[in-house]
Amino acid sequence: MKNRNLIEQSQTRIQGTLFPTDTVSEPPIDEPASDEVELVSFRELVPEIKDTGYLTHAIFAYPAKFIPQIVRYAITTYTKEGNWIVDPFAGSGTVGVEAYLCKRNALLLDLNLLLNHIMPLKVYRGKERLRETDLYKLLEGMKENKCQFIPTWSNVDYWYAPEILEVLSYYWGFVNSTDSVYATIIKSALLKASKRFSYTEDRTPKLARSKRKLKAIEELVKENWREQLDEMIHSLSLKTLRSLNDFVMYTQQHQDSSISEIRWQAGVDSSYATVPRVCDALITSPPYLQAQEYIRSTKMELFWLGHTEEETRELSRLEIPYRKADRVIQTETLDKIRDILTRDDLQKRLDSYFCHTINALENAMNQLKPNAAACIFVGNPRIDGITVELWRILAEYFTERGFVFEKVYEDRIQTRKLFGARKNKNPDGMKSEFLLILRKHAINQSSPRQCGPALEDKERPLHAPQKSPNNDAS
């Protein structure tokens, strides 16, 4: 064949990309960035987790995943069995999976509707092992399906070769009309296959068509592309089924599954929504300053899952780059950065980021019990060449409002993926990430900020996100 087989690539890099990205290894550094910071390796502190994608963690691809070792450390250090944990930036649900495995309860909130589709598989409640023969029967039925599903996406044709789009529409027509765990497993595989066989350039984090990918797909359709597509869906579905079976066996051996309650609500603007219950800890990783467009990164998946352009557009308007700050956050470190910045657009981006990130954190932290820990995992990004110490700014803000600074851990990044196909103000990436630990004072003097209506305390999504004032959509 002229091209390397897509399936061979998917089997060797099941969570990777069609085109390779640069992987950079950092030499070990033994000294922390400052005396205030404790240098650690969470992979070494949590040796029982050998693989960041163990059990169900790797079923879904998602930008900037929270690695489970950090979550496990925070859970076992700062919570007890039966405690409630809140995560207002739930992303791919890592906190929920680890809470379930550690016999804790969790409340997960996120703007991205993908969370609703992720969690039923990642925290699978089945008691019996799934049968591969039943999966194979459904896969064969999918190939014979004559019912189409076309996403309500005005330019869907722009992203696919016509013959590939036609086949995918029949496959999605089958799984979207079939209600079983096996269909949900196939759906998770179809999400990856639908992106892999599109014109999307996998080397960039956002949805973007490229000449390189166009050429690759043009060559592919001259070959046995249907066979490769079916093989990819088959192999990914089987991998997911086996992951679920491992999850079932693990939970049967290590816990009574009735102990943990995991609730999730997607489509939630955490900046304005009131957390519905008191919690024993917060464990979260807010979006980074220059990488907040998760809806745009996953909108192809959302369209195939049946969400509309209107839904997706409304959610995108609530992402940090497209909204205005409704208040200006001030701390010593943040004010110094503002004094240095000369560009108005970057000033607005900075104000928007800290306004809405702190709004969401504050909403959740107001619902913590006295002496509860807030564990916030962040990096120190650069904006216009200036390093922004997120952990320090958050610590300054919350210690002025009744929280006690306990410690901050620095975890040096061992490997990272860099996207070479885009312009990057910080091409070397971040060297470290930080876990900030704040403790809610027994008598917290801060007054709750006025928020929107309380979320419903149920295990289901909110379909209408609370809109913020002065949306600035572009």
pLDDT value of position 61:
87
pLDDT digits (tens, 9 = 90+) for 304-345: 999 999 999 999 999 876 789 999 999 999 999 999 998 999
Kindly tell me if the per-residue pLDDT of 111 is higher than 60: yes
CATH hierarchy code of domain 16-116+263-296+307-440: 3.40.50.150
Kindly state the average pLDDT of the residues 409-413: 90
Tens digit of each residue's pLDDT (9 = 90 or more) over 176-219: 999 999 999 999 999 999 999 999 987 676 788 989 999 999 99
Q: Give the three-state DSSP class for 416.
A: strand
What mean pLDDT do residues 163-183 have? 97
Residue 430: predicted pLDDT: 64
Which two structure tokens, joined as six digits, stand for 226?
């249907």
**pLDDT above 90 for 170:** yes
Asked if residue 36 has pLDDT above 80, the reply is yes
Beta strands in 5-145 (DSSP E): 22-25, 37-40, 84-87, 105-110
CA dist 398 and 440 (Å) reads 9
Q: What is the pLDDT of residue 414?
A: 64
* Arithmetic mean of pLDDT, 395-405: 97
pLDDT of residue 254: 80
Closest to 195 in 3D by CA, of 119, 291, 80, 114: 114
Q: What is the pLDDT of residue 58?
A: 94
Confidence label for 104 from pLDDT (cuts 50, 70 and 90): very high
Mean pLDDT in the chain? 85
Residue 443: predicted pLDDT: 65
Q: Is the pLDDT of residue 4 over 50?
A: no
Taking only the tens place, the pLDDT of each residue in 250-296 is 998 886 656 789 999 999 999 999 999 999 999 999 988 866 678 88
Confidence of residue 454 (pLDDT cuts 50, 70, 90): low
> Taking each helix axis from N to C terminus, what angle separates 332-340 and 344-365, rounded to the nearest 10 degrees?
160
| The predicted structure's pLDDT at residue 31 | 53
pLDDT of residue 466 exceeding 50, the answer is no
Between the CA atoms of 441, 444, 448 and 453, what dihedral angle is there, to the nearest 10 degrees? 60
- Two tokens at 275? 């957390």
Query: In degrees to the nearest 10, what's the CA dihedral of 147, 151, 154, 157?
Result: -70
Q: Rg for the chain (alpha carbons), in Å?
A: 22
Domain ranges of the chain: 16-116+263-296+307-440, 132-250
